[in-house]
Amino acid sequence: MPPVPFAQVRALVERELGNMLERLFPAFEEAPARVGVLTQAHRAVLPGGRTALVVVRRPGVRRDLLAMRPVADVVRRRARRRNGEALPLDPAAAVGEFAAYAAHRRDMFFAAQTARRLKEMDGFGLRVPDAYRRYSTGRCATFEAREKAEPLGAEGYSEASGELVRLAATEGIFFADLAPERFVMEDGEIWLADPTEASALDPERLRGLAEVLAAVRRGDVDGLTRALPLLGCDVPRDARVLQRELRDALGSLGGPLWRECSLEEARARGLEALRRGGVTLPGEISHLLQSLVEAEKLGRVGSSGDRSAIEEAAEAAEALISRFRDPRYVASRTARRLVQGDTYADYPRQLHTILNELKDGEIEVIFRHRGLDNLISKVDVLANRLVFALLIAALILGSSLLGIFGESGVRLLGVSIFGLAGFVIAALLGLLLLVGIVRSGRL
């Protein structure tokens, strides 16, 4: 992104803080320390000689968002008029959702609250700066800066990456723009110099994430399908296609080679399975997954290897599951639900509906054979492998006959070239079959 001109930054800071820039800050660097999509950061000096980092909103974003709304309405009307059907994605709703997301990312009050929450959090390995309240508003936030700050090395970025992955997976707190300029090193400690553009999942979504991860750990496709609505997903009533796609995705990502997968690959396969299964994912979960991928990429800054953060994510998932499986948490949550009046408000209506259906004779009882689809899928995979193995065996036998009894044609090392080609093809097919079996973890 091109940096915002300093004249606009100056006008915004003076308007928000109600004074001239020279009176507010004895020194204010014109060149930005970080340029983001929605925010921009400048280093400054406060009265008394304290260094600070001033983060401001990029001007013009709200104007651009307002300009997108009438365009989205025109697209929706013209598409419906031309095809006679509604678009699979409502442009106006998409613009509204994006505007709400952008407004949340630009909220400096929430950034200050997130910084205070991270400072009070036990086990978070990054240092978080304090926010200066007198120099902060909803459009401009000022944080303490380190005087002897230095850029991180490869090990520092790797450590910061692991901390951010664990933070997102265990607490539901994630950052949208993980530029390397957000992190500095001082006296052997890694600082999150710019804690803005943060988001956080609410406790119920975080509990849904724990249920989803627990089902993934067990390989329970039925449990995963039931847990997706707790995460805010819209799941189709007929979930057979979804279960088949999830079963294939878990099979491809599981097995003894799961550590070789990257978070980016796991996210891509998981989202593709959900898309094919007709699941609609909430925006904040998509942003959380994207933040995990960006944190993984941050760990590769300054290093030559293709580092994966899949193990950190797996450990964080175990910690999250253990927290929500803790009997003390379950007991406290049950007690909170029991004292809420709306817990019992819906029971009379449900009982009345059941009695009416009994009176009219319209109750339907559906028997569902749980695990039958999984068994059919495994038998299908086994049959395909057997057919593939028989094809390889037939190719080997045919090539042997050609190599032994073939007297005409080109010969190599005393063997017919056709027989040798058949052996090579059979070996490649056998290797592909072996790799597929090993990756599925069922060798």
Tell me the mean pLDDT in the region 104-110: 87
What separation, in Å, do the N-terminal and C-terminal C-alpha atoms of the chain show? 50
Task: Mark whether 392 and 428 lie in a shared domain.
Answer: yes
Q: Give the domain-ending residue among 97, 121, 144.
A: 144
* Cα separation, 163 vs 291, whole angstroms: 12
Flag whether 362 is in a domain.
no
Band (pLDDT 50/70/90 cuts) for residue 92 is: confident
Tell me the mean pLDDT in the region 78-89: 71
Cβ(141)–Cβ(196) below 8 Å: yes
* Cα separation, 280 vs 26, whole angstroms: 51
Flag whether 353 is in a domain.
no
Q: Which two tokens stand for residue 94?
A: 């998409």
Cβ(58)–Cβ(4) below 8 Å: yes
pLDDT (tens digit, 9 = 90+) per residue, 340-376?
766 666 667 777 777 777 777 666 666 666 666 667 7
Task: Mark whether 33 and 140 lie in a shared domain.
Answer: yes
Out of 8-22, 163-177, 270-284, 318-332, which region has the weakest mean confidence (pLDDT)? Answer: 318-332
Q: Give the domain-ending residue among 99, 126, 144.
A: 144
Cβ(141)–Cβ(55) below 8 Å: yes
Flag whether 5 is in a domain.
yes
Flag whether 343 is in a domain.
no
> 3-class SS at 55?
strand
Task: Mark whether 133 and 152 lie in a shared domain.
Answer: no
Task: Mark whether 253 and 316 lie in a shared domain.
Answer: yes
Whose CA is closest to 288, among 263, 307, 312? 263
CA distances 38 to 1, 99, 216, Å, are 9, 12, 35
Is residue 44 over pLDDT 70? Answer: yes
Flag whether 360 is in a domain.
no
Out of 97-111, 241-255, 387-401, which region has the weakest mean confidence (pLDDT)? Answer: 387-401
Flag whether 350 is in a domain.
no
Tell me the mean pLDDT in the region 376-389: 74
Question: 226, exposed or middle or buried, with CB in 10 Å at 0-12, 13-18, 19+?
Answer: middle
Is residue 329 over pLDDT 70? Answer: yes
* Cα separation, 90 vs 385, whole angstroms: 44
Task: Mark whether 106 and 165 lie in a shared domain.
Answer: no
Return the DSSP state at 174.
Answer: E
More confident of the two residues 63 and 360: 63
Task: Mark whether 91 and 160 lie in a shared domain.
Answer: no
Query: In 307-416, which residue ranges form alpha helices assigned H by DSSP?
Result: 310-325, 327-338, 342-345, 347-360, 372-405
Task: Give residue 417's pLDDT.
Answer: 67
Q: Give the domain-ending residue among 87, 109, 144.
A: 144
pLDDT (tens digit, 9 = 90+) per residue, 194-223?
888 888 888 888 989 999 988 888 888 888
Tell me the mean pLDDT in the region 142-163: 87
- Residues whose CB is less than 8 angstroms from the CB of residue 427 and which lie 6 or more positions away in sequence, other chains included: none
Is residue 433 over pLDDT 90? Answer: no
* Cα separation, 56 vs 97, whole angstroms: 23
Flag whether 136 is in a domain.
yes
Task: Mark whether 125 and 139 lie in a shared domain.
Answer: yes
Task: Mark whether 195 and 59 lie in a shared domain.
Answer: no
Flag whether 380 is in a domain.
yes
What is the count of structural domains for the chain? 3
Task: Mark whether 123 and 201 lie in a shared domain.
Answer: no
Find the largest Cα–Cα distance for the chain.
99
CA distances 275 to 17, 168, 180, 343, Å, are 47, 23, 32, 33
Tell me the mean pLDDT in the region 261-276: 91
* Cα separation, 441 vs 443, whole angstroms: 6
* Cα separation, 47 vs 25, whole angstroms: 6
* Cα separation, 324 vs 206, whole angstroms: 9
User: Helix 154-171 to helix 310-325 angle, to the nearest 10 degrees?
Assistant: 30
Domain that holds residue 265: 148-325
Entry pTM: 0.72
* Cα separation, 27 vs 24, whole angstroms: 9
Task: Mark whether 115 and 156 lie in a shared domain.
Answer: no
What average pLDDT does the chain have? Answer: 83
CA distances 185 to 90, 191, 355, 437, Å, are 45, 6, 68, 46
* Cα separation, 163 vs 123, whole angstroms: 9
